[in-house]
Amino acid sequence: MTSASAQRRRTAREAALAAAVEEGLLDARSPLIGLLDVDGVLAAVDDLHHAFSGPATVRHTFAAKACSLVPVLRLLARAGMGCEVASPGELELALEAGFPPGRLVFDSPAKTVAELRFALDHGIAVNLDNFQELARVDALLAGRSPAGPIGLRVNPQVGAGAIGAMSTATSTSKFGIALRDEGAVQAVADAFAARPWLSRLHAHVGSQGCPLPLIAQGVRAVHELADHINAALGRRQVTGLDIGGGLPVDFDSDEDRPGYADYVTELRAAVPELLDGRYTLVTEFGRSLLAKSGTIASLVEYTKSAGGRRIAVTHAGAQVATRTVFMPDSWPLRAGVYDAAGRPKQGATEVVDIAGPCCFAGDLTAVGRELPAVEPGDIVALYDTGAYYFSTHFAYNSLPRPAVHGYRTDAEGQIRFALVREAQSVRQVVEESGAAHADALVGLLAAGGPGHAEGTAV
């Protein structure tokens, strides 16, 4: 049975695609766009807050990497979220979006001294990745207390999920302090004993492909470590646990499964004391908050056959669906076919490959799918693409970034759009590629050099 939320999502998406065509947002001049369902995003935020309601103080942050668009981040800030950032760029985006420093968490395995100094001076929570980074913070603080919470990231080494690249708690993960390595637990405890300002522990098991029981094992390990440290010190020095995010997304349907309530149920079973209020909790969900609310829509430019297989050539490929194109078994996407007016196509089906515009054979977003017959001028929609896809562009073939539009359904049932990001022009692509310095290398030749006189073929 289709849930009410899935039906609402599907109805709103179909209405938005038709409205995008009617308003000229998707046409021959703009053959590729991203669409974001604002009501869907807000509903996901509400579900998250409701699932964690209880005696524990829980500070939910959004992983900026999942949708690094300032208007989206500002929407989430207004909805009561904090923001987890993992680079100086993401930090600036979050500040521009209006997140106060006290609602930010800075994670990165390669923080520079300057980045650490900024975070420490502005009260931004920091999760330190290793003991060398901890020594840097010692030097920067020089005996003073930090303005915000400081934690250590640990790797509980509980194993991998179905997608190795998305699993961050393997025995050899690059993230955090490996807890099962010899002497690691004692070294972490000693670090807290020597630094009364260390107050948090952080662990993140992984995201897509990680089952909930595996994630819960990692959270249990960090909870047990916090209890161990506090007992050894005879005081409640560890007051906060950053348990990361990682709720996987069902890319096979419109349903939100597993949901945040399922996640919390798994946590309660594995760590009954987690939500009793002794520790402040921090979460860092990303994909699960945005994925289901996004759609990539592209006009079909051509259709053809090769070896008996039908092929639809679209403008949506590796530049907007990078993971799906390069790892199709791990990141399959559902696709829908709409007519030129943006209405779902009906009738006879065909087995078809959906191809993108990139100049390599593997640029396929769907392979061997049975879909309504596709014709030039139709629209192919890639579902569940609100996280990472249109917001994290891959500049292969110098293809420009598409426009992104947010939408809501008003009281009269009409779709209202808001521009989230303008389409990048081809001229902007040229300028971004160093056009202002076009003569720089030729200038080196003109200046002379061993064996490279001006005019000599190189």
Q: Which residue has the tokens 């308003």?
A: 23
Q: Which of 83, 210, 358, 359 is catalytic?
A: 359
Inter-residue contact 23 to 417 (CB < 8 Å):
yes
Give dist(CA 76, CA 97) in Å, integer.
9
- What is the full DSSP assignment across 304-350? EEETTEEEEEES-STTT-HHHHH-TTTS---EEEE-TTSPBP-S-EE
CA distance 436 to 421: 24
Determine the 3-state secondary structure of 76 from DSSP: helix
CA-based radius of gyration for the chain = 25
Residue 21: name the closest of 387, 391, 381, 423 by CA: 381
Question: Does residue 359 have an active-site annotation?
Answer: yes
Backbone angles phi, psi at 313, to 5 degrees: -95, 120
Asked if 259 contacts 239 with a C-beta cutoff of 8 angstroms, the reply is no
- Calpha distance 223→363 (Å, rounded): 44
Centroid of chain to Cα 265: 24
Peptide bond into 146 cis (omega under 30): no
Structure-token pair, residue 266: 């798994």
For residue 253, give every residue at least 6 positions away whose Cβ sits within 8 Å of its Cβ, in sequence order, or none. 6, 334
Residues assigned a catalytic role: 359
